[in-house]
Amino acid sequence: MRIACLGGGPAGLYFAISMKLRDPAHEIDLFERNRADDTFGWGVVFSDQTLENLMANDPVSGETIADDFAHWDDIDVHIRGECVRSSGHGFIGIGRKRLLAILQERARELGVNLHFEQEASADLDDWSGYDLVIAADGANSRIRTRYEKHFAVDIDTRKNKFFWFGTHKVFDAFTFAFEQTEAGWVWAHAYRFDDNLSTFIVEMEPETWAGLGLDAMSQDDAIALCEKLFAKYLDGHALMSNAAHLPGPEAWLTFRRIICDRWHYKNLILLGDAAHTAHFSVGSGTKLALEDAIKLAEVLNRAEQPLKDALLEYKEERNLEVLKLQNSARNSTEWFETLDRYLDFEPIQFAYSLLTRSQRVSHENLRLRDRGWLEDVERWFYARANGGGTNEPAPPIFAPFKLREMALDNRIVVSPMAMYSAEQGMPNDFHLVHYGARALGGAGLVYTEMTCVSADGRITPGCTGIWTDEQRDAWKPIVDFVHAKSDAKFCLQLGHSGPKGSTKVGWEGYDVPLDAGNWPLIAPSDIAWSPANQTPRPMTRDDMDEVREQFVAAVQRGLEAGFDMIELHAAHGYLLSSFITPLHNKRDDEYGGSLENRLRFPLEVFAAMRAAWPAEKPMSVRISANDWMGDLGVTPEEAVEIARAFAEAGADLIDVSAGQTWADCKPIYGRMFQTPFADKIRNEARLTTMAVGNIYETDHANSILAAGRADLVALARPHLIDPAWTLRAAAQHGYHGANVPPPYIGGQQQLERNLERAAEMEAALRA
């Protein structure tokens, strides 16, 4: 094939090399607007896996690159005059200019025609003499922009300002340095990439940038200011810019996250940053570009595969890897954009939060990298939780916690889960076995399913209730068993179904109306959950009074039954949630419109419940922190205000869920996908939160807690299949402080031995 490659960065060069390696007969012309030795970056960071891929694809250039790599293991985090160092991270880096020189030389050896200082046309018709045109001209690709409607380009411009400097100060660790100025915090990402040069990226919020006068400052003055701010790290070395041609303010960049739904149009193919970008804080843009180049060359050289199929495979396989990395990069980007949340953390927790910000590095991954440092984190966390020192490290999930006068043995919670196994609201032997088993399984706190405050407030005929004394009396032996046979505390979650009631039990179809025997529904407005569901009657003030008193009566019965804690369910589109979300609440009175008005009735109910519940006993509220409907519904920003309002009304814990408030919502799923909302509420509103949502490994829970993203961690489905999830976690970690029921001690000991033996065998196989 005759191929035009637009762009002479690593992506374009390595694609040309990879094509020539597979078939020397390809005629490849590469066009670059700049000179051969021009570059606008400093160092490039790789992983060991990327180097392996390069060696497998082209050992000649791979070995040359490897010989020039700078290696380092440590990360230093400087904050408030302290330096926290952790090790075992295994970075490798190379100068971008040196990398380009290696790739240019290799491309010439293989017969690639390199054309420098030539502006490539953005008109596809001008390339009619080529079989393929490769757009490898970076994030600002001119030809992609010309045809962007065909690529379905989505660009998200992030807010922080950054300047990519170089310096002759050679850092012996990957360094994060945070400094406070009169205008706000500024920070540097610094790492060496050869024997006498380091990259030094200065980043800050736009408000700080403007407050320091950088929006009107020359580049020389901006460099002088940054040298002053970071003088103690630079040791007298200057900062160098390779963007001297730009006026001062224009040299400061904002990151543009790019996603393309399609990666080719006619014979034009996107490659590297032209197709996708990943934030510099995860250091993987060049990695993605090189791996794109390898894959594209591979599929294009299959003679038996039609070009259309080859390009589809290229996009689908590479896009999966890109999305994984972009998700991690988004988490990392947002951490730096919301830095104020974490600045009050103690330095060791601040460093832990930084290291785990992308979710690519987890608690156990840190243990593999630097066991000693992680155990220091665990000791710190446990000592802070129990108010005293400890010599033995313990996983964060086993640290105690206290809500008012209720003391929990650990941070693991059995999440509220609908069992649909009651009759006329009455709990029965199933519930005794279900809740009893999970309490025996070691969790610190066990929640009931949403227990309804009236017959018409049920979701399904199988929902439990506590609207009668008989139901209260049926709950009492379950509560007594939990207290007598375990150290778990028991929380009664109370709710009213509102517009989502009178439906079949879950395994017969979620939110599907009953075939017969439906009961009337109430809601803030006459908006049905879906066209198939019953339209609710808008509530009157008398209805509100009645519902409020139903909640109060349920609280009183919960107290009589012996529950330790009460939670108000104000999430997932049920009655109180439907007041909070503007998607369902269309009222034009004092209970609709503004957030303050939409919260008025839910807060009234909560205040009445709090007044009926003993002061020494805690209460929580479950909220949907995101309706997943953009500005049409509740947003994460509004969720912070919702949480604050309930906390001011006496809530001790915000149980942070999301969604299920609108039938057509578009949630973004993934592991721990709701934890960012718990983090936001905890660290912006300074409230106690519980994370929930696709958390299923001890590693997830430990990472969430140690990073200060939540105070408790609730697991739902893992507890459905494994009631002893917490005891299994104790055995997995060799932790002996868990409260194992005496009849089960032998099984716990055997489980720990078996898990230890399996880990030893796995380690031996890896060795």
Active site residues: 574
> Which residues make Cβ contacts (< 8 Å) with residue 222, sequence separation at least 6?
163, 214, 248, 251, 252
Q: Which residue has the tokens 């983090």?
A: 679
Cα 584 off chain centre by: 28
Tokens coding 129: 């003499």
Whole-number Å distance between alpha carbons of 137 and 6: 6
Contact at 8 Å (CB) between 87 and 186? no
Q: Measuring CA to CA, how many Å separate 94 from each of 72, 166, 229, 374?
A: 12, 13, 26, 29
Bridging pattern class, strands 197-204 and 184-194: antiparallel
Whole-number Å distance between alpha carbons of 421 and 424: 10
Tokens coding 440: 């025996």
Contact at 8 Å (CB) between 580 and 634? yes
Query: Is the alpha carbon torsion for 390, 393, 395, 396 positive or negative?
Result: positive
Tokens coding 429: 């032997």
Whole-number Å distance between alpha carbons of 658 and 665: 11
Strand partners, 203: 162, 187
First to last CA, the chain: 45
Tokens coding 541: 């003030």
Q: At what angle do helices 96-109 and 59-67 cross, to 10 degrees?
A: 150
Q: Which residue type sits at 325? A: L
Burial label for 757, CB within 10 Å (0-12, 13-18, 19+), is exposed
Whole-number Å distance between alpha carbons of 495 and 522: 13
Q: Beta-carbon neighbour count of residue 116 at 10 Å?
A: 15
Contact at 8 Å (CB) between 689 and 682? yes
Q: Measuring CA to CA, how many Å separate 119 from each of 116, 329, 466?
A: 9, 31, 75
Tokens coding 636: 């994460």
Contact at 8 Å (CB) between 622 and 606? no
Q: Measuring CA to CA, how many Å separate 600 from each of 553, 577, 590, 762?
A: 20, 12, 8, 57
Bridging pattern class, strands 653-657 and 689-692: parallel
Q: Minimal CA–CA distance to 515: which of 500, 505, 529, 527?
A: 505
Query: Is the alpha carbon torsion for 353, 355, 356, 359 positive or negative?
Result: positive
Q: Minimal CA–CA distance to 188: which of 354, 383, 419, 344?
A: 354
Contact at 8 Å (CB) between 489 and 408? yes
Contact at 8 Å (CB) between 642 and 598? no
Tokens coding 207: 């408000």
Q: Minimal CA–CA distance to 711: which of 752, 632, 633, 655?
A: 655
Contact at 8 Å (CB) between 539 and 523? yes
Tokens coding 229: 């701010």
Contact at 8 Å (CB) between 573 and 584? yes
SS3 letters across 331-345: HHHHHHHCHHHCCCC
